[in-house]
Structure 1
Amino acid sequence: MSRVLLVGKGPPDRGGISAFMQTLLASELATEHQLSLLNLYRDEVLGGGRFTRANLSRTLADAARLWRAARQADIVHINTALVPLPTVLRAGFLALVARIAGARVIVHAHSGRIDLWLRTPLRRLLVRLALAPASRVLTVSETSRKFLARSLGSARVILVDNGVDPAAYTPVAAPGHELPTILFAGVLSPRKGLIDLIQASTELQRRGVAHQLVVAGGAPEEGPQAEAETREAASHGAPARFIGTQPHEEMARLYRGADVFCLPSWWEAMPLTVLEAMASGLPVVASTVGDIPRAVEEGVTGRLVAPQQPQALADALDPLLRDPQLRTSMGRAARERVERLF
């Protein structure tokens, strides 16, 4: 039985990395190996991915905690984003600390945009040096795997798809509300495409397509300023109901009460929210970024739209909001696809 230390932001954080680690801790893997969690969550938002004194202090403190914990582990599994540069260097430093402590190291890259960030030779060199202590690098998208393999070698980089337990999500034939509901779930940052969705919602209202928009999400790692800017931009469009970040159990209820799930992100890897919505029997309208097209089958389980195109987003949502039967058929196909592939 191996001693495996999971490292990353855990509860009360409600992001994808936290959900992934909680799934591992509750899985059958925990009966075969000794799993433990080093939770790097902090209450304060310091502006993630930036070179600041506060972030440097946090990294050094996290490294000290990791050193102590890694000395009692056989394998250290570091769950992290790999963009931008400060985040890469932080991940590499933590991997080096764990390796020196005597553990084998796995770095699990959960972020999108790796393919865009690694386009220059200098950046590929930095990633290769930063991740040298890792025996394996895992990705959640095929796009990321291909680009990392160019720097690290295909033998070290492995695709591990995100997945969901369909039993945790119960599709509802017809949600009990008068207006069709669009659900958005994600941090309140421009990169998640929320402003684009607000603009699309405004256009749909102009067309006379009645609906309501529910936004579940809170402050992004970029800090409260990014959230404030997003809320300010959203205030000039169609009304939306902002309900904050929700726990996993409440998200399952929100999926059941929605008619369409929409995530028009500017970049992603393989977002868990898309898979959760599909498992809940919802048609998904999302961007053609990362590995989302591997999950959402255009015209079958939902619609795919180029990012930062509010008009095209409105065109994709329009028929789904008008036609309950179309929503039902696409939602059923979405559930079946998740059960089969994820």
Structure 2
Amino acid sequence: MSRSSLNIALLADSRSFGGIESHIANLALGLEQSGHRVLIVLMANYGEHPVFDANPKLRAKTIKLSGGVVELYNTLDKLSVDVVHTHGYKAGIIGRFVCRMQDKAVVSTFHAGERGSLKIRFYRWLDRISAKGHQCISVSQPIARELGISSDVIQNFVEPATTKNVSFGGRQLAFVGRFSAEKGPDTFVKVAASMPEHIFAMYGAGPQFSSLDKCKPLNMCLLGQVPSMLPHWQDIKVLCITSRAEGLPLVALEAMAHGIPVVSYAVGGLPSLIDHGNNGWLVEGHEPSQFIAALTQVMQLSQSRFKLIAQNARKTILDKFSTSAVVPQIETVYRQALGG
């Protein structure tokens, strides 16, 4: 193994499309661009994966297991892997256990900022406890503080869209994410109902989808879970993040990379991304009325002022949250894990 090249396994338990999956996809492609060999190891096979099977490059790198610990042990034992990088609490807990038995270097990234159910909180507590003494990455400073153990704060990143794919002509005010309480889709519906002169759209799925579909206002459409947001960014003018808790949502980076500014509650790592009034807007508090007031002001901006903020949003991603800016930081953590 040369100093510049590593064999890396990205380990996760995943069946759907979300922020963690997008992060892993971006990381796999970014590491490959840096000259590393990358495998995506899914702990269980849930059939066709909407992220890793949709991209031919990712499909060629993906291994699907049957969910057993012994199979994971045997797979990692056979692979010439230098570093195992876990994502999510199940992969973290089991992956670190197996790597400890095999004396393999392991790095764990902590993505989630929401509390979840009692069961989920227990698993996340176990994830944190078992991560002590290992190299850890947190995607935001609030997650690092909650983690309570040593971790490197390395924020999420995206591969920016090429200039020809950037559009400033969308009309939708959009919610993109899981329809669950911590993401605040109910707040977004209230915002839409209070601004009937504008077009609102919701992309995603989750436990609240059916109830929100029944009470959505006439100026809102629920588009469900889409295979990819790439065809839809051009339709969106502003991304609205009404979450009650967050890490650093990848969807915010993806939107800004396409020249779509974000209006968001000041939760999680979003204040480190959004410079209020310069590349987007932060809403203090958590009341729908506060979000409505902020979004109303945004929609009253002149076209030239709005376009300048949209351009600043894209520049922020290019300068600080792109693959080329962030992947070298993750590589450094890999080297530390190997040296430890």
Q: CA deviation at 1:9?
A: 4.1
Q: Is the 8 A contact 2:161 2:258 kept in 1?
A: no
Q: Is the 8 A contact 1:266 1:307 kept in 2?
A: no
Q: CA deviation at 1:182?
A: 0.6
Aligned partner of 1:167 among 146, 161, 175? 161
Aligned length: 291
Aligned to 1:216: 203
Aligned partner of 2:298 among 313, 320, 324? 320
In structure 2, give the amino acid aligned to 1:217: G
Distance 1:40 1:128 in 2: 20
Aligned partner of 1:40 among 40, 43, 51? 43
SS of the residue 2:27 aligns to: helix
Distance 1:253 1:288, change over 3 A: same
Q: CA deviation at 1:108?
A: 1.0
Matched, 1:130 2:138: no
Q: Is the 8 A contact 2:239 2:262 kept in 1?
A: yes
Aligned to 1:152: 149
Structural mapping, 1:295-310, within 5 Å: 295-306=273-284, 308-310=286-288
SS of the residue 1:183 aligns to: strand
1:173-223: per-residue Cα shift (whole Å, max 9, x none)?
A: 323xxxx31111101112111110110111112xxxx1111111123xxxx
Distance 1:129 1:266 in 2: 25
Distance 1:6 1:123 in 2: 20
Q: Is the 8 A contact 1:70 1:103 kept in 2?
A: no
| Structure 1 unpaired stretches of 5+ | 45-58, 82-86, 220-226
SS of the residue 1:167 aligns to: coil
Distance 1:108 1:168, change over 3 A: farther
1:133-176: per-residue Cα shift (whole Å, max 9, x none)?
A: x630111112222343xx433xxx1112111122357321323x
Q: TM-score, normalised by structure 2?
A: 0.76
Aligned to 1:64: 70
Aligned to 2:105: 104
Aligned to 2:82: 74
SS of the residue 1:187 aligns to: coil
In structure 2, give the amino acid aligned to 1:6: L
| Structure 2 unpaired stretches of 5+ | 48-64, 322-340
Q: CA deviation at 1:124?
A: 10
Q: Is the 8 A contact 2:274 2:282 kept in 1?
A: yes
Distance 1:20 1:65, change over 3 A: farther
Aligned to 2:58: none
Distance 1:232 1:129 in 2: 37
Distance 2:264 2:97 in 1: 37
1:275-304: per-residue Cα shift (whole Å, max 9, x none)?
A: 111111112111211110111111222221
Distance 1:194 1:130 in 2: 33
Distance 1:147 1:5, change over 3 A: same
Distance 1:275 1:79 in 2: 19
In structure 1, give the amino acid aligned to 2:182: R
Cα RMSD of the aligned pairs, angstroms, is: 2.9
In structure 1, give the amino acid aligned to 2:313: A
Q: Identity rate of aligned residues, in percent?
A: 22
Q: TM-score, normalised by structure 1?
A: 0.76
Q: Is the 8 A contact 1:76 1:103 kept in 2?
A: yes
